[in-house]
Amino acid sequence: MSRFLLWRGHAMLALPARVYLGVIFIYASIHKIADPGTFALDVATYDLLPLVLVNAMAIIMPPIEFVAGVLIIVGWRTRAAGLLITAMMGIFVVAVSMALAKGLDTSCGCFASQAMEEDPITGLTVLRDVVWMLLGAYVVLFDRRPLGVDGFLMRRRENDAG
Amino acid sequence: MRELMGKPEEGTCEARLSDGLGKVIIDALVITLLCALAAVVVNRWGHPKGIPLVAPKAYEILVPCPEPGGVVTALGPGDARIAAKDTFRVDAREAGVFKAWHLSTAMNVTYDYLDPTPKDLIKRLAQRAASSRAQQVVVYGDGEDPDTGEQLGKELSGHGIKNVFFVRGGAPALRKAARP
């Protein structure tokens, strides 16, 4: 296990996962940032949050998605961005699972405010979100010397230390 | 247990796992706080479609109707609103005939003259209509006299769903209109 944790190849393995997650999060956040009112309606349709939190969630969450997506791609505060993505995916998994358990036939609201027929929530939505959550967790736990700004800064610090 | 054992030995697997995790959590919290602050400020002062931080009233998933209910308007089978993108279509016929033919994306809610339509089914219909951003609901039935489409339309309208229409002549008229 120790060898596996110390393996230098994690950085190479995590890079495509980081870019993939980053692109997804940036893409998913854009329509929500552009139109918070519509995203608030999507949040309300899930019927999980009290009314006082619906708009706050719709305003605050999309910029965090966007920033986490950018940071995980450029590799600055990589593991923190991975942690945020993992936490958000955890929230989405719980929200979608509860909506499914309630029998809500609603659109996911994940990438655009699409009609229910175009983007319905199903068991596959939960599975997809779990996979993305695991990718985020992999970055947090194993990508200790990420390729990108963090890796560059680490190498420079080590060189300065001699 | 951790307190009893003290800090994990340097270079061990446990030490590697916990290495920097506290800093990662602090970084994540700082990013979250900064983003939240920026989002609230931009939403309040710089966003053309900004919304209030707290919704002033509940979002209407079930749209209340100002009328006592039961009002439906008849549409001819060739009316453009039936096929419009912002129309939510409902088929009031039995499941068997629905399977044989129905309008694209129509939802099947079989109308029964003896039993009222279950409330949870109407709620599901309203939620689907709301999430599809539909502006109107068009119901069609068997086209008989009385017509199941018209009856279900009245029932939906009575439950607070607004802009409900029914197709005069029901499914047979729609199929006839679709033929060249």
- Could you tell me if B146 and B104 lie in one domain? yes
Tell me the per-residue pLDDT of A106-139, one tens digit each, with 9 for 90 and over.
777 777 655 544 567 888 999 999 999 999 999 9
Choose, out of B51, B102, B125, the residue to mutate when testing the contact with A (most A CBs < 10 Å). B51
In total, how many domains does chain B have? 2
**Same structural domain, B108 and B159:** yes
- B123 contact A CB<8A: no
Task: Tell me how far apart the alpha carbons of residues A50 and B20 are, in angstroms, rounded to a whole number.
Answer: 36
Residue of B nearest to A56 (CA): B53
ipTM at complex level: 0.89
B60 pLDDT higher than 90: no
Residues B95 and B24 in one domain: no
User: Across the interface, which of A41, A59, A62 has its CB nearest the CB of B40?
Assistant: A59
| pLDDT per residue as tens digits for the range B118-150 | 888 888 888 888 888 888 999 999 998 889 999
Q: Which two tokens stand for residue A87?
A: 């936490």
Q: Give a yes or no: residue A1 inside a domain.
A: no
Q: Looking at residue B68, what is its pLDDT? A: 40
Is pTM, for the whole model, over 0.80?
no
Work out the angle at residue A136's Cα, subtended by the Cα atoms of residues B41 and A10, and round it to the nearest 5 degrees. Answer: 130
Residue B53: exposed, middle, or buried by beta-carbon count in 10 A (0-12, 13-18, 19+)? middle
Range of the domain at A16: 6-157
Cross-strand partners of B87: B136
Within a domain: A65 = yes
- Decide if A91 is inside a domain: yes
For residues A6-34, give the mean pLDDT: 91
Q: Is there a domain that residue A162 lies in? A: no
The answer to whether residue B52 sits within a structural domain is no
Cis amide leading into B146 (omega within 30): yes
Nearest CA distance, A95 vs chain B (angstrom): 16
pLDDT for position A38: 87
For A44-103, write each residue's pLDDT tens digit.
888 889 999 999 999 999 999 999 999 999 999 999 999 999 999 999 999 999 888 877
B53 inside domain: no
Task: List the domain range (segments joined by +) for residue B32.
Answer: 2-46
Alpha-carbon torsion B82, B142, B152, A114, what sign? negative
